[in-house]
């Protein structure tokens, strides 16, 4: 499988201020990430997630080591439309409307005006921002700004998406929509590296997870590799109370441990997923 990101002994150190010691934001790490996968980037605040994304986006120079993105140096002109970075925080150019902002992004990407406008309208519709008219970005809610930022990241049809907290500030409907879009991007061959504190969302769509702490890569692997165990459980339904009691007695007789008997229920996220499929009005 082709490589999307390759790093060798990549490290970033920020100089200290005054008498403060330098801060090692990223300790030397080696990394190979395949194309066409969704990779969750996890870790507490200050673990180095944003620094790593900024290095890959070409916005932060590494202090040591080497890194290649889609076979090129991060920030290279050849990657202008191939790599998109969705940063955390408010959008710039707050006096613009959503369409004006995307027109500016399209011009930066070198897209023809007609193609840029068509793509912008498609993503504004998909991310439910098409009714904002000439409303200025500075009046957008956090969730609206987050969705528009994703519109901008998707405008160039990138091969690599670098996302910093893409669902932070979104309601469950918006989070579900973003996850659907990321899965569709993966199906088109796009690679997604997503830093997030939303563990359930990362677990729902990620092929692999990287865990950073204090600038070091602690663990990486698939969810099965990271969370799997040798224990086995028997899940049964359709039995009445007598059948359950008999099954529990048989389990104990064979040396098993009956932990509990409960009525199954869906998670809240499953409920929101069902509701998200119904027509609704967004505030």
Pairing of strands 160-164, 191-195: parallel
Give 173-220 as a DSSP string: HHHHHHHHHHHHHHHTT-EEEEE-S-HHHHHHH-SEEEEEETTEEEEE
Q: What is the pLDDT of residue 8?
A: 97
Mean pLDDT to the nearest integer, 224-236 = 82
Provide the pLDDT confidence category of residue 277 given band limits of 50, 70 and 90.
low
Sorted by where each starts, the structural domains of the chain and their CATH numbers stand as: 35-61+71-229 (3.40.50.300)
Question: pTM for the complete prediction?
Answer: 0.85
Best CA proximity match to 68, nearest among 50, 78, 56: 56
Mean pLDDT to the nearest integer, 178-185 = 96
Q: How far is CA 235 from CA 134, 247, 258, 259, 263, in A?
A: 54, 11, 12, 12, 12
Mean pLDDT to the nearest integer, 241-255 = 89
Q: Which phi and psi (to 5°) does residue 238 adopt?
A: 95, 0
Edge-first strand order for the sheet with 23-34 is 23-34, 3-14, 64-69
**Cα pseudo-dihedral 129, 134, 136, 140, rounded to 10:** -20
């Amino acid at each position: 499988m082709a490589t999307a990101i390759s790093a060798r002994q990549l490290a970033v150190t920020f100089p200290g201020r005054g008498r403060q010691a330098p801060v090692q934001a990223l300790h030397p790490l080696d990394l190979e990430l395949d194309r066409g996968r969704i990779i969750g980037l996890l870790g507490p605040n200050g673990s180095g997630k944003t620094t790593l994304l900024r290095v890959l986006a070409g916005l932060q120079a590494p202090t040591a080591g080497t890194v290649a993105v889609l076979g090129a140096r991060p920030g290279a002109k050849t990657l202008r439309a191939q790599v998109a970075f969705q940063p955390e925080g408010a959008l710039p150019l707050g006096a613009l409307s959503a369409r004006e902002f995307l027109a500016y992004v399209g011009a930066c990407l070198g897209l023809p005006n007609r193609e840029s406008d068509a793509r912008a309208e498609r993503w504004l519709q998909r991310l439910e921002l098409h009714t904002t008219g000439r409303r200025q970005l500075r009046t957008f809610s956090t969730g609206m700004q987050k969705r528009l930022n994703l519109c901008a990241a998707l405008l160039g049809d990138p091969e690599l998406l670098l996302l910093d907290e893409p669902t932070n500030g979104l309601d469950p409907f918006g989070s579900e929509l973003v996850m659907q879009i990321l899965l569709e991007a993966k199906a088109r061959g796009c690679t997604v590296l997503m830093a997030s504190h939303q563990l359930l969302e990362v677990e729902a769509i990620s092929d692999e997870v990287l865990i950073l702490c204090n600038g070091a890569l602690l663990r990486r692997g698939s969810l099965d590799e990271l969370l799997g165990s040798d224990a086995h459980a028997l899940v049964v339904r359709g039995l009445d109370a007598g059948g359950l009691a008999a099954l529990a007695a048989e389990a104990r007789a064979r040396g098993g441990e009956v932990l509990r008997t409960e009525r199954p229920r869906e998670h809240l996220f499953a409920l929101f997923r069902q509701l998200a499929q119904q027509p609704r009005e967004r505030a």
